[in-house]
């Protein structure tokens, strides 16, 4: 028997309720018994019930309404619902299933039949759990850069959108650093692609270890990296960028094709959304990118900020 599931019973008639409880306990499940629809509705959410067995006729809220509410719950795991009814007229069965019930059991119920129907529900619930787990796994995979293990371009786009929106709304600053490995093509050409991959991994690790808690690093593509710095103005972003540049150079990875430094270095551009400013995520990224090219032009292994051009009156 696998892990027990929390199963909720909503039944106002005590003998039937006790019979249901005893059958479910025998199956090894965790049973929450309630005697009316409203109490059931509360308990379903509190105990995160995965299977619900509800009597059709109950005081407060009937089983049909309970099923409708369960189906309208946002963001919940699938809850398998079984309606218990003394009726077996076709239109009632149809109404119950149309309201979203997965199954129905006619009272007085047969114990063995109830158990196999519960088992069918268990299969659905466990399948849904497995599916949700794998979806989460896949979602994570789609956000991670396979080579370096840090966030990828897609993760960056998501984070930038989210943080930009948040910062704009609450008038907080948001810093952004664009960093590019200097003369990486020459590195690959002389040392081979495997060494190139090692260098990318090393730089990713240095960036990740050199930013502050709460800062985020991503591989933007090729030999380009980008860092998002929440609650950080341009001055703050420049301090972080200088530290990144220092740490990469100090790691001393030999790179003869990168004179006069002789080691792997980065050029970085910084920009920040200042509190209250009206710039888009694209502008934020584009300006840091322009500043990064400025750093390249200045001789590499350098940091530059994008500065607002003087106002033309």
Partner 1 sequence: MPDIQAVAPVDLAEGLQRAGNDRAFYKELLEMLVADLPRQAAEMRTALERGDLEALRRTAHAVKGAAASLAAGTARELAFQIETFARSGRPDGIAPLITDLEQEGERLRAFAGEL
Q: Single out the residue of 161, 153, 143 nearest to residue 273, CA to CA.
A: 161
Per-residue contact string for residues 29-68; x = within reach of partner 1 by CB under 8 A: ----------------------------x-----------
Residue 72, interface with partner 1 (CB under 8 A)? no
Q: What is the DSSP letter of 263?
A: B
Residue 108, interface with partner 1 (CB under 8 A)? yes
Listed ranges 19-27, 191-199, 266-274, 287-295: which one lies at the site for partner 1 (CB under 8 A):
19-27
- Type and span of the H or E element at 224: strand 224-230
Q: Which residues, 6+ apart, have CB-to-CB distance to 261 below 8 Å?
A: 182, 249, 255, 300, 301
Prior bond of 18 cis (ω within 30°): no
Residue 302, interface with partner 1 (CB under 8 A)? no
Listed ranges 14-22, 42-50, 221-229, 298-306: which one lies at the site for partner 1 (CB under 8 A):
14-22
Q: How far is the CB of 143 from partner 1 (least distance, A)?
A: 50
Q: Which residues, 6+ apart, have CB-to-CB distance to 47 below 8 Å?
A: 6, 8, 32
Catalytic residue IDs:
223
Q: Is 123 helix (H, G, I), strand (E, B) or coil?
A: helix
Residue 19, interface with partner 1 (CB under 8 A)? yes
Per-residue contact string for residues 127-156; x = within reach of partner 1 by CB under 8 A: ------------------------------
Q: Which residues bind partner 1 (CB under 8 A)?
A: 12-16, 18-19, 22-23, 26, 57, 86, 107-111
């Amino acid at each position: 028997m696998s892990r027990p599931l929390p199963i909720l019973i909503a039944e106002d008639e005590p003998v039937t309720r006790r019979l249901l409880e005893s059958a479910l306990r025998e199956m090894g499940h965790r049973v929450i018994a309630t005697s009316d629809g409203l109490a059931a509705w509360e308990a379903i959410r509190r105990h995160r019930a995965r299977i619900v067995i509800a009597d059709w006729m109950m005081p407060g809220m009937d089983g049909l309404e309970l099923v409708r509410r369960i189906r309208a719950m946002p963001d919940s795991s699938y809850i398998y619902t079984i309606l218990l009814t003394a009726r077996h007229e076709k239109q009632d069965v149809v109404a119950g299933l149309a309201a979203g019930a997965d199954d129905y059991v006619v009272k007085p119920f047969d114990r063995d039949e109830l158990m196999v129907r519960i088992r069918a529900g268990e299969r659905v619930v466990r399948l849904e759990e497995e599916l949700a787990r794998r979806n989460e796994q896949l979602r994570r995979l789609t956000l991670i850069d396979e080579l370096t293990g840090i966030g990828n371009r897609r993760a960056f786009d998501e984070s930038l959108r989210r943080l930009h929106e948040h910062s704009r709304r609450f008038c907080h600053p948001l810093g952004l650093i664009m960093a590019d490995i200097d003369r990486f093509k020459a590195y690959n050409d002389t040392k081979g692609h495997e060494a190139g991959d090692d260098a990318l991994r090393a730089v990713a690790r240095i960036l990740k270890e050199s930013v502050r808690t709460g800062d985020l690093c991503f591989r933007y593509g090729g030999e380009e990296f980008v860092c998002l710095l929440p609650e950080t103005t341009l001055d703050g972003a420049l301090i972080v960028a200088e530290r990144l540049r220092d740490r990469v150079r100090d790691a001393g990875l030999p790179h003869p094709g990168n004179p006069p430094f002789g080691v792997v270095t980065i050029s970085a551009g910084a920009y920040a959304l200042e509190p209250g400013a009206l710039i888009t995520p694209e502008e934020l990224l584009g300006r840091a990118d322009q500043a990064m090219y400025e750093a390249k032009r200045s001789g590499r292994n350098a940091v530059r900020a994008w500065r607002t051009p003087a106002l033309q009156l």
